[in-house]
Amino acid sequence: MSILATFIQGGQRLIAQCPHCDHLFQVLHARFIFPSKDPGRCEYADLLAMQATTSRLSGRLERAQERYDAVIEGLRAKATAQGQRSARKHVLRIDQVFSARKIDPQDVKVLFDPVDYVVFHGLNGKGVKEVRFISHEPESAQQERIVKAIAKVIKAGDVGFSTLRVTKEGGIEGERA
């Protein structure tokens, strides 16, 4: 075998280290550089530097995004609370019957007959705690009998609960609880 072939075959097993970037490579993959030429920059070292810079900037971007999200969430919460306070003030000016008695107007449902309103305390909060019937003073003996009959039924505990739902076809379905 010739000396050149022996050198090439042996070069496959030789490993060298780049003086610029300390990267290990097989001698077989090395380029010959003649002293009259400038070796220039090591492309692999440039790629590693770019990768490190990208990783560092990506981390900064993620941290900035987290800070931004936290600020936006805080501003949303503050705006929501301010809007709710403002809405309560407006409702109090408009509705002096329920709001003045610390009744959330959204908990009030209108019936008109036999009582004017049903108040489900906590309906739009943490759950219904109490149900109240609100009506104007009876204007006739018949209305007074109806109000007394409702009070008597409630005191006796002879109360039931039904849920009625309107179907897509327009019919009414009911279930008794």
pLDDT digit string, tens, across residues 52-110 = 999 999 999 999 999 999 999 999 999 999 988 887 777 666 666 676 677 777 777 77
**Residue 163's beta-bridge partner residues?**
175
Domain count of the fold of the chain:
2
Q: How far is Cα 27 from Cα 11, in angstroms, rounded to an integer?
A: 5
Contacts of 76 (CB under 8 A, 6+ apart): none
Q: How many CB atoms lie within 10 A of CB 108?
A: 19
Looking at the structure, tell me whether residues 107 and 152 fall in a common domain: yes
Domain hosting 133: range is 103-176
Q: Which two tokens stand for residue 101?
A: 């008695």
Q: How far is Cα 48 from Cα 38, in angstroms, rounded to an integer?
A: 21
Distances (CA, A) of 112 to 10, 118, 143: 102, 9, 12
Looking at the structure, tell me whether residues 123 and 68 fall in a common domain: no
The string of pLDDT tens digits covering residues 104-119 is 777 777 777 777 788 8
**Within a domain: residue 17?**
yes
Whole-model pTM: value is 0.41
